[in-house]
A and B are shown apart, each in its own frame.
Chain A
Amino acid sequence: MSNVMLEVKELTTKYITRFGEDVYAVDHVSLKVEEGKSLGIAGESGCGKSTLALSLMGYYFPPLHYTSGEIIIDGKNISGMNPDDVRKSILGTEIAYIPQSAMNALNPTRKIIHFIEDVLLAHDLLVTRKDIYDRARILFETLGLPAEVLQKYPVELSGGMKQRTVIAVSVLLLPKVLIADEPSSALDVTSQKMVIKMLRQLMEIGYISSMIFITHELPLLYNVTDDIMVMYAGQIVEKATSQEAVFDPLHPYAKGLMGSIIVPEKGLRDVKLAAIPGVPPNLKKPPAGCQFAERCKYVREECTLHSIPLRDAGDGRAYRCIISEKELREIYAREADKNVR
């Protein structure tokens, strides 16, 4: 049994709008990431992927508010901590977060080495300029980035290079958990591959102990992470290994998502892509029963009555549906022949 690096129990966070309405963007989410493992989070836009990432840091600022639940990083409970303490002692050292389009946040008037200085100085590490430079150079060279980058301004770097620099800066203090939110979405395929290679490398060298990877690109997630979690309307609807999540999903929403994967492979042109009609529910007034009921093909009367719990399917697998595993599989098997284009 390996060490659990990050454990989240029933985490709930909400946004309070300026009209005082509560929007539960992360709704009783529990997850566990072990040492050396990576977890992928998938889902369509607005399903709460990024809010979950933000909530996992334990660093809340309005309109995001903590409601309930626990976040335990390597045995240390950080939920409910004072934001300033979180910033001082948790961010960067325990958990590092790369927000979406982080590479665009680099100050254009400062050289890359200054960002590294900032991180080290903010954590009260009394080091000399030379030490900082040496440390940065070693880090960059291990990760396959040329050391000249340190003396350059962000505008002199390409998108892929900027993104890799941001990742390098974020792992400077050897965090236990790295949360990467869409780290490769604005890049072309070749730079994307380089970013992924670098993240893999970080895990292998041991600069980071575990990783949470957020994206809506499923083929990418399949290739990068060990486990995949599918979110819908702030809830987890499916939790499985990457292999199972892509080839044998249980929840109807996950099934729909996996059916919409487009990859340049033989046989793609023979199948009909799955479409999920409709839009996600308004989280200001969430439906009483299953959040997905409105768009679900297999909706039943019981679905809309009361909320559906996450059902355990063994081996760490879970899904949130009223229909049993066996029955779902039968339905999917029957539908498989209809998907011919």
Chain B
Amino acid sequence: MSDEKRICLSTSGLTKVFGFGRQKTVAVDHVDLNLYEGEVVSLVGESGSGKTTLAKMLLGLINSTEGDVYFQGQKRDISTLRKKQEYWKNIQAIFQDPFSSYNIFNKIDAVLLDCIRMRGGGKLPHAKKIELMAEACSFVNLKFEELTNKYPFELSGGQMQRLMIARIFLLKPKILLADEPTSMIDASSRATILDELMQLRNETGMTIIFITHDIGLAYYVSDSVYIMEHGKLVESGSADEVILHPKEAYTQRLISDVPKIHEEWDLSTV
């Protein structure tokens, strides 16, 4: 299987250390990842396990202390702003809190127009731009006519998160990094958002990295799962292997602590 699949993003010995001396904290500790094209992977860990720090390094938002990131086999170069912007055309993110993801002064049209401009569509005729924006909105079941001239904060949390996906639809990056995209959203709209992300993956073949502490969610969406503990990857493999037959004690504990509905939830283990 892995013969056909090409590696999209990989890291070798990626490390991030915060502070120094006695206050030294190793947030991410020599992480080696290999992400294939079109794959959905989940990074699972408790709070403080370094998931978000790793994500920020993959995005190029913070520098790594040690180790390298390889994008499509090449060592990633983000030394200048222009190179960074070039890199961000290939990797995009959806964050946990939709309420703080938008610039409150920009209307929704401006948010989407920005994406078209990033893809080099700045010189397209106005009608074509509207068409593209409407297409993106209908992909996520939002009505573009209702959104024009509105500000993002006039939408509900679920709608904002779907608008984020509409952005991704316009940008069509190679990699999407979703950092707890549904944790602030009600269960009733969670399914819609996950379905839309999966549909996006099927249509464009992008790689999706889910960062979550919700093991159920990781199991539902991903092809392979990585478990993180104190900055280290402790276990990895296909979703069925890792979640249903965990080998490491840490993973076993993590999974046994999640309340379930068909199996008994053993309270005596804490």
Residues of A near any B CB (own CB < 8 A): 44-45, 188-190, 192-194, 196-197, 200, 216-220, 222-223, 246, 256-257, 260-269, 273-277, 279
Contacts and interface: CB of A to CB of B under 8 A. Distances in A.
B63 interface: no
B223 to A, nearest CB: 10
Size class of the contact patch on chain B: 35 or more
A264 B195 CA distance: 18
B267 interface: yes
B191 interface: yes
B219 A189 contact: no
A242 to B, nearest CB: 10
B187 A194 contact: no
B105 interface: no
A194 B270 contact: yes
A263 B216 contact: yes
A44 B186 contact: yes
Nearest to B155: A279
Contact of B191 (A246, A263, A266, A273): A273
A189 B255 CA distance: 9
Contacts of B262: 263, 265, 267
Given A193-B270, A218-B187, A276-B189, A223 B265 contact: yes
Interface string B224-263: 0000000000000001100110000000011101111111
Nearest to B217: A262
A194 B260 CA distance: 16
B194 interface: yes
Q: Which 9 residue pairs are nearest across A and B when measured between Cβ atoms? A: A273-B191, A262-B216, A275-B191, A276-B188, A44-B186, A189-B257, A275-B192, A219-B259, A260-B187
Given A196-B259, A246-B261, 4 more contacts: A189-B257, A194-B270, A223-B261, A275-B192
B46 A189 contact: yes
Given A193-B270, A262-B214, A220 B187 contact: no
B89 interface: no
Given A189-B46, A262-B216, A266-B244, A223 B259 contact: yes
A44 B216 contact: no
B25 interface: no
B239 A219 contact: no
27 contacts: A44-B187, A188-B213, A189-B258, A190-B253, A190-B254, A190-B270, A192-B257, A193-B269, A194-B270, A196-B267, A200-B267, A219-B261, A222-B261, A223-B265, A260-B191, A261-B261, A263-B260, A264-B258, A265-B262, A266-B244, A267-B262, A269-B240, A273-B195, A275-B188, A275-B190, A277-B192, A279-B156
Main secondary structure of the interface of B (DSSP, over half): helix
Contact of A190 (B46, B215, B219, B263): B46
Contacts of B260: 219, 223, 263-265
A257 B260 CA distance: 15
B47 interface: yes
A260 B182 CA distance: 12
A241 to B, nearest CB: 14
B141 interface: yes
Contacts of A262: 190, 214, 216-217, 219-220
B185 to A, nearest CB: 9
Contact of A273 (B141, B190, B218, B265): B190
B61 to A, nearest CB: 24
Interface in B204-224: 213-220
A266 B263 CA distance: 10
A243 to B, nearest CB: 10
A269 B239 CA distance: 10
Contacts of B194: 273
Greatest chain A CB density within 10 A among B220, B265, B270 is at B270
A200 B268 CA distance: 11
A264 B216 contact: yes
A263 B258 CA distance: 8
B251 to A, nearest CB: 11
Contact of A275 (B156, B189, B240, B269): B189
